[in-house]
Structure 1
Amino acid sequence: MEIGLTPIVCIAQDYIQGKPVNDLRLRKAILELPDNKTEHLPGYLPLVPGMPVLLTENIATELGLSNGTRGIFRQLVYDESPEDVRYQDKNFPPNTKFITQPKYALVEFPGCKLNTKLAELQSKIVPIAISEQTFLFDAKELLPENVAKAAKINKKTTKLTVKRKALPLIPAYSMTTHKSQGQTLGHLKERRCRCLSNDLTCWPNASSWQRFNESIDGRLVSPKPSAAVCNYNLLNTDACVIATAQWTNASWRSDQVGAMQNHNWEKSSCSISSPNISCSQGSVPVLAVNATLSEHVQATVRMATVNNLRLVIKTTGHDYLGRSTAAGSLLLWLHFMTNMTLIPDFSSCTGENVLNAIRLDAGVQWGQVYTWLAQYNLTAIGGASGTVSATGGFLQGGGHGPLTRWKGLAVDQVLEFDVVTADGRRQTVNTCQNSNLFWTLRGGGGGTFAIVLSAVLRTFPSPSVLSSFNILTIANETRYNSFVHNFIHFLPTLADNGWAGSFYMADTSLVIIFLLPNGDLNVANATWNQLMKNNTDLNFMQPFILTFSSFNDFFLNVLAPFNPTGDNVLLGSRLIPETIVRNQPEQLAETFLRIKGKAGTSLIGHLVAGGQVSNMSNNNSVNSAWRTALLHMIYSQSWPDGTSDEEQQKLAAHVTSQVDILQTVSGGSQSGAYMNEANPNELNWQQKFFGTQQIYDRLKSIKQAVDPHGLFVCKNCVGSEDWSLDLNCPKMSSANK
């Protein structure tokens, strides 16, 4: 049946455990929930032909029909139902027609890219079908206050899972969550500059934030810079003592909502060593959601979308490009989403059965994973730092570590993601479902395409580990240079024998941390003796090779203690092709010695490529330079608190110049870099981080499809070139597209 000019109210159909909600009081309470608690499917949807409406989810992004798109309601097609006459509501006109069984709405979208007619419909008129979403309803809202409090005290489970079927539309004049009443998502879409906390004309007011906080179980918090408690205006003596003692502890920094692992990205005037009376917020977000449930994540996405807020995503703050923070923004903090599940027999969508897969939530850190898996005699391919999030930017950007030469990059182990997309929907992403998004999330970078709630990864039986750990300080610079040449010549031998690891060069010191999975001790000693026999005058630590029964034992005893943080640092990096390491060792050694620097600088080499990294043929978007590399080289520059902005700019320019020198032995202008440990001032970052133009174009096309309004934007991430330097406003060229 079709309806003309009569006022219409579509009533959502709600189900609990597969059955319609028939209890009138419960049904009324659920229908009257605000949209931000129901996945933006309204309980009551008033419609009048000719009125403006907004889509609340992506319908066909390639046609311009995405979350927030404005249209004009023309007609409703529905089935008559005896239920329709049961509804009367004094909030609607007396002649209102209540509809409980809508089939679809006909909506005109003037900006729709569909140039042909659908069936017999006029051009630009699109049928919008019923959508399904699931949300939680807390039954305590139906209880008297004293009973509700008792339920909370007794930790009674009062939340019900509700499935709603409704049209994914809202009236364009109904956006009451925004302080500027009367504005619509359509207006916000046109005015693309983000609303920041210092703009009171658009920033949500206190009551809006209170309602939002109630909808996320009171998880809204106020971040502060990590040193704020030691500064006069926010001084807390007891907290300052703790902060000072824990300043370089990566675990402590992970637990602070406002802390970045590298202090410079907080960009505040707060100092742990020199208290400043004018300590400021800097680039630390003003509000954060400490999410522990997927519903918290979805609600935050919608809050940011509806109010046009700058949204940033953080788990532990391990980001050398400052992508986990932004001034005046809303922070989504995933640190306490920490479930880990062993799946003894995981059946992938392609029919492959994978033994002992694991599902890791967004906040799980690699050190936790290694320790947890050790009880099953298993391990996973993760990072050298135990405090890095296992499924965040590390994984989505590629993920190298001690075992990558043994089994491939971390991203090569991904079987499936559970994500929230920019339209607020929770989706499964794998080879069969959302396959384009699956491709992008495996190498295209974090904080860009979707929010990863969890990932399913392969595991492996834990290997035994042989390790060589040595710290050499050679006072004579000529002798030091000679040994570096010997060592660089020796790297292919280590690679051929299955070794992996890292080395650190600064002044005339060289730190060596290498490992061999499932190695033979006699063969290992014979391998290293090839280096030692020509350098008997040097004081190598003894025993030269240590043995560990499992990877976790090696990690806890060797890698975990070697994880300082909290300083101010900039990095630059290049992936060194295996052909250059093997064929040009003299040039490589000379270049390393030239740029290694002195106090405050270091050159870090990671033998983490080659081996299975080169042999993997997984269809993912990771930088192709990984597949031909053997070494990942990093130039690191640090500085003390109190260094002037002018001096910091000089240091940043110096990092760029040193990486330019490193580029001469990494493939020249076509060289690649690891996006997670890179120079934030990299000029040609699209090619350096992502490889070919073809790959980048595909990434950007998918980005436009899954996030057409750029909710997820971060430094040197796919599509960020279309935004201003502070990433708060679109450039005119992209805004007019």
Structure 2
Amino acid sequence: MPACVWNSLNATVGGRLRNATPYAKSCFSGSFDEGECAGLIDEYLDPARRSDHFGAYINAEWETCQATAEECALRWMGATARDGQCRQGAVPSYYIDVSDHTDVAAAFEFSRRTGVLVVIKNTGHDYMGRSSGPGALGIWTHHLKSMSYDKTFVPQGCEATMNPVPAVTFGSGAQFSDLLAFANENNLTIPGGSDATVGVGGGYLQGGGHSPLSNIFGLAVDRVLEYEVAVPTGDFLVANECQNPDLFFALRGGGGGTFGVVMQVTTRALPRAELVTVSASFKPTTSIERFLEFVIPYSVGWAKDGWSGYIYTAGIFHLSKLDTTEVDALAYMAPLKTFLLEELYIELQVSTSHSYGDFHEKYLHLSSVGLPKCIPVFPASRLIPAETFSDSPKELLKTLMQLINALPASFIFANAPYVFPGDGKTSVTGAWRRSIWDVTFGQVWDYSASPAEQEKAYRNLSRSMDPLRAITPGGGAYGNEADVYEPDWERSFWGENYEELVRVKRKYDPEHLLDCWRCVDWKGASDPRYHCYF
């Protein structure tokens, strides 16, 4: 593309077009900068630093072109400078540091006119590579961080049909750390995931968004009241129950990078919550198999009673509930307390958190939560329906243990919104409401793994999930943490909602300017833009 074409785009967006450089470039011999490299090495595994750099991804495998081994990565176990050439990999060539919707409209028009691909990036928490793309123009929403609280919010156009509710409106680049602080300052509850560096309004929210308390407060999309979104037709739209309700439906679970660029979100602000949590820390010698054998028969009952939490198979277990006391919680969990003490020699702890921020600090911020960050890692997930716990408990235990023993990372999110019905107007798969657990497994590698070794790892992880899929016929998968090669992905991610999502996609993006790996109505793996995938 001639330089004058890019210069023209730069002028249109007020000088906010940037060259995109790979994160580790300063540590390569061809472009070595001693001072910059030293700082980068010190903070190579820091997701907060990475989220501030367009060329960095929290899921670092998507900085690289995996199929061709083009990359600019450091060894993550003891990062050091490297000889050789830093290559662009899958990092887009240019990006626009978006300040308002006119920048997005300019990007779409540029793509329409030149054929240059566009991708949307927030903070780079993306396990499927949807926010990267070789040769692409990136639309970077990271600096959209406005935030306000309205005690009497009514969605635009709904004045005659809806009562005012407390709500928080924030730019799509606002991160959980921002929302946690804001909620604490205003005595509110805004549940989120474990990683405080996630950009809330991006793929996290648009893909559904679970938290440790999803069985109490629902998924993130359950609480959304309104989006302001720039769509590929060039329009800047409000999407809520009263305006563009089909787009509102699609953005409430249909996935990021697909229907448009969300500029601003308004979500219901819940009052300060007091949570009682029971927890236990596992020892290196703890038998996870024996623990799960005990827990599986109780899990549906716990979910029905409103408990929600996480099981980190290499760390801790915690379940939380509203409207109870520490005494009542320990009485209710007496069988678990006895089992842990007498068979696993572990004490069941109980504590009260006086706000969600307090809870996050105790159980999420300081613990090794979720899949590894800032290194090459890819997951596969499965929603486990309630029926599996009653119909196939032995098969469930056996299958889970096979995966736990075979893979380096495993997590059981005992937080599916089983007792939170929602409003029936979100586009996530209905399996979320039928399930008790969302289980996630992960594989990792170092930068030196060959393309053949990486492809083998992907395929082996995908195949290893087949027995779990077989015993959970009513389940699905969480698209934000899914197998890159998930079979029957349309049904797994969106279930009965898929056909309607395709219709919405074609309405608001008729020229298909947005496309991403296994997103709604994607062009397919044979499209040249996916040459970095296996």
TM > 0.5: yes
| 1:454 equivalenced with 2:255 (yes/no) | no
CA deviation vs aligned residue, 1:98-150 (integer Å, no higher than 9, x gap): xxxxxxxxxxxxxxxxxxxxxxxxxxxxxxxxxxxxxxxxxxxxxxxxxxxxx
Residue 539 of structure 1 deviates from its aligned partner by: 4.2
Pairing of 1:394-473 with structure 2 (within 5 A): 394-473=204-283
1:382 to 192, 197, 202: 192
| 1:525 equivalenced with 2:335 (yes/no) | no
Whether the aligned pair in 1 keeps the contact of 2:330 and 2:337 (CA below 8 Å) is: no
CA deviation vs aligned residue, 1:205-238 (integer Å, no higher than 9, x gap): 2222223212222212222222222111122222
| 1:360 equivalenced with 2:164 (yes/no) | no
Change (3 A) 1:291 1:244: same
What letter corresponds to residue 116 of structure 2 in structure 1?
A: L
Residue 723 of structure 1 deviates from its aligned partner by: 6.3
Residue number in structure 2 paired with 1:688: 492
2:302 to 478, 490, 494: 494
| 1:624 equivalenced with 2:426 (yes/no) | no
| 1:656 equivalenced with 2:449 (yes/no) | no
CA deviation vs aligned residue, 1:436-475 (integer Å, no higher than 9, x gap): 2122111111111111111111111021122344331353
Please state which structure has a larger fraction of its residues in helix: 2
What letter corresponds to residue 437 of structure 2 in structure 1?
A: L
Whether the aligned pair in 2 keeps the contact of 1:595 and 1:661 (CA below 8 Å) is: no
Whether the aligned pair in 1 keeps the contact of 2:18 and 2:96 (CA below 8 Å) is: yes
Whether the aligned pair in 2 keeps the contact of 1:356 and 1:459 (CA below 8 Å) is: yes
Question: In structure 2, how many angstroms separate the alpha carbons of the residues matched to 1:722 and 1:700?
Answer: 14
Whether the aligned pair in 1 keeps the contact of 2:383 and 2:432 (CA below 8 Å) is: yes
2:51 to 254, 263, 285: 254
Partner SS, residue 565 of structure 1: coil
Q: Percent identity?
A: 30
| 1:714 equivalenced with 2:516 (yes/no) | yes
Whether the aligned pair in 2 keeps the contact of 1:467 and 1:514 (CA below 8 Å) is: yes
Whether the aligned pair in 2 keeps the contact of 1:381 and 1:459 (CA below 8 Å) is: no
Partner SS, residue 534 of structure 1: helix
Whether the aligned pair in 1 keeps the contact of 2:166 and 2:268 (CA below 8 Å) is: yes
Question: In structure 1, how many angstroms separate the alpha carbons of the residues matched to 2:423 and 2:128?
Answer: 29
Residue number in structure 2 paired with 1:567: 375
Please state which structure has a larger fraction of its residues in strand: 1
Question: In structure 1, how many angstroms separate the alpha carbons of the residues matched to 2:457 and 2:527?
Answer: 20
Pairing of 1:149-168 with structure 2 (within 5 A): none
Residue number in structure 2 paired with 1:83: none
Residue 255 of structure 1 deviates from its aligned partner by: 0.6
| 1:515 equivalenced with 2:325 (yes/no) | no
Question: In structure 2, how many angstroms separate the alpha carbons of the residues matched to 1:368 and 1:624?
Answer: 31
What letter corresponds to residue 680 of structure 1 in structure 2?
A: V
Residue number in structure 2 paired with 1:697: 499
Change (3 A) 1:421 1:723: farther
What letter corresponds to residue 293 of structure 1 in structure 2?
A: D
| 1:548 equivalenced with 2:353 (yes/no) | yes
Aligned residue pairs, count: 514
CA deviation vs aligned residue, 1:254-307 (integer Å, no higher than 9, x gap): 111111111111114323236141221100011111112222222222222222
Question: In structure 1, how many angstroms separate the alpha carbons of the residues matched to 2:42 and 2:302?
Answer: 39
Whether the aligned pair in 2 keeps the contact of 1:310 and 1:728 (CA below 8 Å) is: no
CA deviation vs aligned residue, 1:7-41 (integer Å, no higher than 9, x gap): xxxxxxxxxxxxxxxxxxxxxxxxxxxxxxxxxxx
TM-score with structure 1 setting the length: 0.67
Residue 728 of structure 1 deviates from its aligned partner by: 6.7
Note the aligned Cα RMSD (angstroms).
Answer: 2.1
What letter corresponds to residue 319 of structure 1 in structure 2?
A: D
Whether the aligned pair in 1 keeps the contact of 2:275 and 2:355 (CA below 8 Å) is: yes
Pairing of 1:51-200 with structure 2 (within 5 A): none
What letter corresponds to residue 487 of structure 2 in structure 1?
A: L
| 1:330 equivalenced with 2:137 (yes/no) | yes
Change (3 A) 1:540 1:725: farther
Change (3 A) 1:334 1:654: same
Residue number in structure 1 paired with 2:67: none
2:479 to 675, 687, 696: 675
Whether the aligned pair in 2 keeps the contact of 1:468 and 1:514 (CA below 8 Å) is: yes
Residue number in structure 2 paired with 1:584: 392
Partner SS, residue 183 of structure 2: helix
Change (3 A) 1:496 1:431: closer
Larger RCO, structures 1/2 (Cα 8 Å, 6+ apart): 2
Partner SS, residue 515 of structure 1: strand
Whether the aligned pair in 2 keeps the contact of 1:404 and 1:612 (CA below 8 Å) is: no
Partner SS, residue 467 of structure 1: strand
Whether the aligned pair in 2 keeps the contact of 1:625 and 1:671 (CA below 8 Å) is: yes
Whether the aligned pair in 2 keeps the contact of 1:703 and 1:718 (CA below 8 Å) is: yes
Residue number in structure 1 paired with 2:74: 272
Question: In structure 2, how many angstroms separate the alpha carbons of the residues matched to 1:276 and 1:539?
Answer: 51
1:319 to 112, 126, 129: 126
Whether the aligned pair in 2 keeps the contact of 1:713 and 1:727 (CA below 8 Å) is: no
Question: In structure 1, how many angstroms separate the alpha carbons of the residues matched to 2:238 and 2:404?
Answer: 45
In the alignment, structure 1 segments of 5+ residues that lack a partner are 1-202, 730-737
Whether the aligned pair in 1 keeps the contact of 2:144 and 2:171 (CA below 8 Å) is: yes
Whether the aligned pair in 2 keeps the contact of 1:466 and 1:516 (CA below 8 Å) is: yes
| 1:235 equivalenced with 2:32 (yes/no) | yes
Change (3 A) 1:276 1:524: farther
1:282 to 89, 105, 110: 89
CA deviation vs aligned residue, 1:677-711 (integer Å, no higher than 9, x gap): 1011113111111103xx32221122112111110
CA deviation vs aligned residue, 1:48-89 (integer Å, no higher than 9, x gap): xxxxxxxxxxxxxxxxxxxxxxxxxxxxxxxxxxxxxxxxxx
Residues 429-438 or 257-266, more deviating? 429-438
CA deviation vs aligned residue, 1:529-560 (integer Å, no higher than 9, x gap): 31131232534367x12322111111133212
Question: In structure 2, how many angstroms separate the alpha carbons of the residues matched to 1:318 and 1:648?
Answer: 20
Question: In structure 2, how many angstroms separate the alpha carbons of the residues matched to 1:420 and 1:360?
Answer: 15
Residue number in structure 2 paired with 1:145: none
| 1:298 equivalenced with 2:108 (yes/no) | no
CA deviation vs aligned residue, 1:483-518 (integer Å, no higher than 9, x gap): 33113233234324322111123xxx4531332234
2:448 to 642, 654, 657: 642
Change (3 A) 1:709 1:256: same
Question: In structure 1, how many angstroms separate the alpha carbons of the residues matched to 2:197 and 2:412?
Answer: 20
